[in-house]
Chains A and B, each alone.
Chain A
Amino acid sequence: GQSLEQPSEVTAVEGAIVQINCTYQTSGFYGLSWYQQHDGGAPTFLSYNALDGLEETGRFSSFLSRSDSYGYLLLQELQMKDSASYFCAVRSPDRGSTLGRLYFGRGTQLTVWP
C-alpha cells in the first residue's frame, strides 16, 4: 500500500521560515509533488521533484531524498496569504498508465500570524 506522513498543523509568524516534512512508503516511485490549497479552493501545483536535491522557485523550495523516502517543502519570508493547507503527493506507477497516479498525504494546515 501507499502511505504518506506529514504534520497536521504548523504555525509561524510573517517573515519567518517554515519547513513541512513528508515521509512516504510506496510501492514504486516516480516523484514527489507539493500542492497548496486554500479553504474551499482547488489544489494548486507548487513543485515536483523526481531526483534528489533541492528545487527552488521563488520563496518556496522543495527537497527530495529518495534513499530516505523523505522530502520537504520550505517556505521563506512567510506572508499572511501563505496560510493554507499544503499536501505532499507521491506519483507512483499505476495500472496501465505510463505516467502513474498521485497519492496524497493528509495535508498540513499552515497558519501565518502577523
Chain B
Amino acid sequence: GAVVSQHPSRVICKSGTSVKIECRSLDFQATTMFWYRQFPKKSLMLMATSNEGSKATYEQGVEKDKFLINHASLTLSTLTVTSAHPEDSSFYICSARTRGLAGGPGHNEQFFGPGTRLTVL
C-alpha cells in the first residue's frame, strides 16, 4: 500500500513554544490530507481537512489559529501547534487520501502516517 510518513515521531517541548509536524505521502500524490488527534485508548478525532493549495477546513471546536495547517504541495502537509500547552499533549496522526480511479483498489482509501507523540511540559 501507499506510504505516509510523519516527522518527528516524538517531540517534547516547553509550554509556550511552537511545534511543527510534517506529513508526507511518499509514493503517491495526495490532494487531500487529514489531521487527527488521538487520546490514549480513545478514537481518532478529526481536527481538519486540508486540500492542496487551499485553506484547511477545521472541525467544530478546533482553533485554527492554534493549529496551523499548510498543504503546500501534493506530497506535504504541515501542522504547527502554536504556543503549546500541556493540554495539547496528544498523539497527532495525519492521513492522506489516494487519487485512485473510482471503483479501483485505491479509490476512497486513506493511508495513515505513524503518528507524532507530542508532550508539552
Contacts and interface: CB of A to CB of B under 8 A. Distances in A.
A113 interface: no
A109 B34 CA distance: 24
B interface bracket (residues with beta carbon within 8 Å of A): 20 to 34
Interface string A34-52: 0100001111110010100
Given A87-B43, A99-B32, A43 B108 contact: no
A99 B113 contact: no
B46 A102 contact: yes
Contacts of B117: 40
A91 to B, nearest CB: 7
B57 A95 contact: yes
Nearest to B109: A45
Interface of B: 1, 4, 32, 34, 41-46, 49, 57, 91, 93, 95, 97, 108-115, 117
Interface of A: 30-31, 35, 40-45, 48, 50, 87, 91, 94-97, 99, 101-107, 109
Q: Which 5 A-B pairs have the closest CB atoms?
A: A42-B112, A106-B43, A42-B114, A43-B112, A104-B43
